[in-house]
Amino acid sequence: MEARAVLKYVRMSPRKARMVVDMIRGRKVEDALNLLKFTRRRAAKVVEKVLKSALANATQKEIGDVDDLRVSKAYVDGGPTEKRIQPTAMGRSWRIHKRSSHITIVLSPPVGSTQLPAGQAGKKTAAAVKPKSTAGVKPKSAAGVKPKTAAAVKPKSAAAVKAKS
């Protein structure tokens, strides 16, 4: 069971909003709210409102203890872009892109011992990654260079040895 909150058409660049959302993904709700409160970015206030809305949705659905909830998913999608024109010198013009975002936050209770630590949400564990099969594959030498054997090395002549010393 999970609770979600979506805020659409926020007049903010998705790239800037993602910087704040990436900080709270995988954290406990209490830690995330504390972090957002002291983050000095414009997106932090907007994300904090969405997080509080998701928390209110979780209490309404009676998902579980509010203190144990975690931010299981948090992402920012790009919304529509307003295109404006900025006049410049010699009759030319530049395009101005006023970007917008859709911010989504999903809260869920911990699932026992399979809960990942903060910042590790969405990453594969070592047990989940399958090793590749190497059956029937010949090992390659380092960087395509054949190893030299004693027969392949040319013996130095006595005159070359005397010239060096």
Mean per-residue pLDDT of the chain: 83
Q: pLDDT tens digits for 2-17?
A: 999 999 999 999 999 9
More confident residue, 148 or 122: 148
- Taking the CB of residue 69, how many other CB atoms lie within 10 A of it? 23
Pairing mode, strands 101-108 and 93-98: unpaired
Q: Which two tokens stand for residue 123?
A: 């990453």
pTM for the full predicted model: 0.66
121 has pLDDT over 60 = no
